[in-house]
A and B are shown apart, each in its own frame.
Chain A
């Protein structure tokens, strides 16, 4: 069965600094990978997804992620964060065998002024 690990429960970063949120996955078959964002008191919103093709995926709000099959990782990056990026970020995985998505525990991005 597939699983997702987000090692960092919380990441503090200064405004305009770069950030990387780590995600590792495990699966025995081909995977589809996602990053979702949850702003305070809101639902989950898709940031970006990897289904196939180019391993560098660009999403909304200036975020991007790179699929690395050898390291089974899908880290999320942004070169310069803004206070409005304060949110919880969830990495998620799905595989070709079923239609559900499995989420990681989430990483809370805390932007420091």
Chain B
């Protein structure tokens, strides 16, 4: 069964550095998402992406964050200048038709970002 893949599985970076988290969604999916989960807390929506543009973003997704689909397969999340509070597990997800259709979100295994 096709799956969403995320790399790396664990990223350690120093405060103030830029990081790029990479995701390869399922190939025929059209909707892409980033969520994050701070340790011990709930899974929080960051951003959704459809038709090569952001369709919705949360308050967390400020100017430090950006997303890109540089080619037909990758979907990346960039954090320009990381802060300690950005430490979290970041999940990429994709969906064929959006959650209201018969194709729910498929999640990757996540990238654990540790900012020191």
Count contacts between A and B, CB distance < 8 Å.
Answer: 62
Q: A34-B104, A43-B109 are contacts. A103–B41 as well, Cβ < 8 Å?
A: no
Count residues on chain B whose CB falls below 8 Å from chain A CBs. 28
Q: A63 in the interface, Cβ–Cβ < 8 Å?
A: no
Give the docked Cα–Cα distance between A96 and B101 (Å). Answer: 10
Q: A32-B100, A34-B104, A44-B91 are contacts. A100–B43 as well, Cβ < 8 Å?
A: no
Are B105 and A101 in contact (CB-based, < 8 A)? yes
Say whether chain B's binding surface is mostly helix, strand, loop, or mixed.
strand
Q: B75 in the interface, Cβ–Cβ < 8 Å?
A: no
In the complex, per-residue mask of B39-55: 1 if CB is within 8 Å of any chain A CB, else 0: 00111110010100001
Are B107 and A44 in contact (CB-based, < 8 A)? yes
Are A94 and B109 in contact (CB-based, < 8 A)? no
Query: What range describes how many residues of A lie at the interface?
Result: 20 to 34
What is the CB-to-nearest-CB distance from B101 to chain A, in angstroms, rounded to a whole number?
Answer: 8
Are B43 and A44 in contact (CB-based, < 8 A)? yes
Are A46 and B105 in contact (CB-based, < 8 A)? yes
Q: A43-B107, A46-B105 are contacts. A96–B43 as well, Cβ < 8 Å?
A: no
Q: A43-B91, A45-B107, A46-B104 are contacts. A103–B42 as well, Cβ < 8 Å?
A: yes
Q: B25 in the interface, Cβ–Cβ < 8 Å?
A: no
Output the nearest chain A residue to B42 by Cβ-Cβ distance: A105
The interface centre, meaning the residue of A32, A46, A51, A101 with most chain B CB atoms within 10 A of its CB, is A101
Q: Which 9 A-B pairs have the closest CB atoms?
A: A44-B107, A105-B42, A43-B109, A103-B43, A94-B99, A99-B98, A43-B107, A100-B45, A46-B104
